[in-house]
């Protein structure tokens, strides 16, 4: 059988053996008939909060937080609709700041901001990148569980009205994206992010896809986000064609809970046993722009690969590793992935983006990992990964090595679909 894998801005067709292949996909979800009308209706009848119009007072300062270039949020539709709603309610443009939720990612270029928000929005409204490495751009709001100051972007903290936009999908250690993640880590200082994403939190078994309550990463994210004060959430859910399937607006925790339960129903897919080989993606553009994000696709596959099995990731990586990033440098400084894990376990060691290297190392401790991408082979090997020029051939070789009865699972949309083994203590509803 031929299965199209999400890859870059298109699809990569790969042929798999008919008698040994299980394809794991999202449950089909129809798009909304009128996305614009659904967004306006959600703003007027939000969950657990007053209509957005009632949050607005004369001269109030408004901060709209939007996702960066690595996320599939349809900002180019949501943000212009939201701004038109605010103007219709009497808001002046100089009252509004649009703040990009970079987390610890690089700043978006003007071209990328225009792609995200439309050129008209960038030209006519105040649009800023978050500054995750600048304490002066942030305000301290108490401390994290490890005693680190919880620094959040000043524009977010000092606004009279905060509107947190984004979309909800499964997340490999925060349970689900969206919701409080728009604030923490979205507009948090790198020190705060590093505390929350530290090795101890990520090593908790609840820090995984689909788990929020009882997950120390997500629970601290929510706690810090709530310290800022009330925030109005505008999150959406998407189908495999990136069409809007639901709009969840209102009080931050309440609206996010409703949205993530909707995602759970479509994304969580039960399987009966482990697979010898799992082929995954990073759901195509924009998430597969770099190898750093590719750990998410690996993580989805690792849930169902047999110990000692093989994971094959298809991720275009058009933006590189990125080369020179803290993640890249950490991988390069050690001769093996075991060395990376040993360094991360060193008391007192701390490095931005170490969480991605940690999870990559944990996955590679369980399974062999191959990567099909546009990256040169030497860059992949520098990241302690094996190049995979031909996915179909690599699958056939791995299955032959395993012997009769070997099976392969395919996740065409990678971490947008979360397989689980209920018999191994991972029920779908938590």
Q: Note the pLDDT tens digit of each residue in 149-194.
A: 999 999 999 999 999 999 999 999 999 999 999 999 999 999 999 9
Q: Quick check: 429 pLDDT over 50? A: no
| Residues 206 and 126 reside in one and the same domain | yes
Q: How large a percentage of the chain has pLDDT more than 90?
A: 87
Pairing of strands 175-176, 368-372: unpaired
Q: Which of 246, 266, 286 is the last residue of a domain?
A: 266
Active site residue 211: no
Is pLDDT at 425 greater than 60 in this prediction? no
pTM comes to: 0.90
Residue appearing with tokens 């083994």: 421
pLDDT for residue 346 = 87
In a shared domain, residues 248 and 279: no
Instruction: Identify the active-site residue in 105, 155, 197, 372.
Output: 105
Residue 149 buriedness (CB in 10 A; 0-12 / 13-18 / 19+): middle
CATH number, residue 413: 3.90.226.30
Asked if residues 232 and 52 have their Cβ atoms less than 8 Å apart, the reply is: yes
Q: Is residue 429 part of a domain?
A: no
Domain that holds residue 55: 35-266
Tell which of 235, 266, 297 closes a domain. 266
What tens digit of pLDDT does each residue of 174-185 get? 999 999 999 999
Under the banding of pLDDT at 50, 70 and 90, the label for residue 427 is very low
User: Quick one: pLDDT at residue 146?
Assistant: 80
**105 is a catalytic site residue:** yes
pLDDT above 70: residue 424: no
250, β-bridge pairs: 47, 233
316 and 250 co-located in one domain: no
Q: Of 61, 5, 124, give the one whose Cα is nearest residue 410.
A: 5
Same domain (yes/no): 366, 385: yes
Assign 422 a pLDDT band (cuts: 50, 70, 90): confident
What is the pLDDT at residue 430?
A: 40
74 and 171 co-located in one domain: yes
Number of domains within the chain: 2
In a domain, 29, yes or no: no
Is residue 232 situated within a structural domain? yes
* 69 and 110 belong to one structural domain: yes
For 104-124, write each residue's pLDDT tens digit: 999 999 999 999 999 999 999
- The active-site residue, picked from 130, 155, 171, 189, is 171
Residue 207 and residue 67 share a domain: yes
Residue 30 located in a structural domain: no
Determine, yes or no, domain membership for 113.
yes
Whether residues 166 and 299 fall in one domain? no
* Domain match, 391 and 418 both: yes
Q: Residue 354 — pLDDT band, cuts 50, 70, 90?
A: confident
């Amino acid at each position: 059988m031929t299965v199209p894998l999400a890859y870059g801005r298109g699809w990569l067709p790969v042929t798999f053996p008919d008698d040994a292949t299980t394809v794991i996909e999202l449950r089909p979800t129809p798009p909304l008939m009128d996305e614009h009308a659904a967004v306006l209706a959600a703003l007027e009848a939000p969950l657990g909060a007053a209509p957005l119009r009632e949050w607005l007072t004369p001269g109030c300062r408004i901060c709209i937080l939007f996702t960066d270039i690595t996320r599939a949020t349809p900002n180019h539709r949501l943000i212009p609709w939201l701004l038109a709603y605010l103007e219709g309610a009497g808001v002046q443009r100089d009252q509004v700041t649009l703040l990009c939720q970079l987390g610890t990612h690089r700043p978006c270029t003007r071209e990328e901001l225009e792609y995200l928000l439309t050129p008209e929005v960038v030209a006519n409204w105040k649009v800023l990148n978050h500054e995750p490495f600048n304490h002066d751009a942030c305000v301290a709001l108490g401390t994290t569980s490890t005693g680190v100051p919880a620094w959040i972007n000043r524009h977010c903290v000092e606004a009279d009205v905060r509107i947190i936009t984004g979309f909800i999908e499964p997340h490999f250690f925060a349970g689900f994206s969206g919701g409080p993640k728009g604030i923490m880590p979205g507009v948090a200082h790198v020190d705060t992010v590093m505390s929350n994403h530290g090795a101890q939190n990520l090593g908790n078994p609840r820090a995984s896809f689909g788990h929020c309550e009882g997950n120390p990463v997500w629970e601290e994210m929510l706690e810090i986000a709530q310290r800022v004060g009330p925030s109005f959430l505008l999150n959406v859910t998407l189908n495999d064609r990136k069409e809007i399937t639901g709009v969840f607006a209102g009080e931050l925790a309440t609206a996010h809970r409703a949205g993530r339960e909707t995602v759970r129903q479509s994304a969580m897919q039960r399987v009966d046993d482990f697979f010898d080989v799992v082929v995954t993606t990073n759901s195509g553009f924009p998430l597969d722009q770099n190898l750093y994000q590719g750990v998410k696709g690996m993580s989805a596959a690792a849930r169902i690969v047999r110990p000692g099995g093989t994971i094959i990731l298809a991720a275009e990586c058009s933006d590189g590793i990125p080369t020179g990033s803290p993640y890249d440098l950490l991988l390069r400084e050690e001769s093996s992935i075991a060395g990376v894990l040993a360094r991360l376990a060193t008391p007192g060691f701390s490095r931005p983006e170490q969480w991605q290297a940690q999870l990559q190392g944990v996955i590679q401790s369980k399974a062999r990992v191959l990567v099909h991408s546009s990256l040169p082979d030497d860059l992949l090997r520098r990241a302690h990964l094996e190049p995979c020029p031909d996915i179909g051939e690599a699958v056939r070789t791995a299955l032959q090595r395993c012997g009769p009865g070997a099976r392969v699972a395919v996740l065409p949309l990678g971490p947008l679909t979360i397989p689980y083994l209920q018999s191994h203590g991972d029920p779908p509803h938590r």
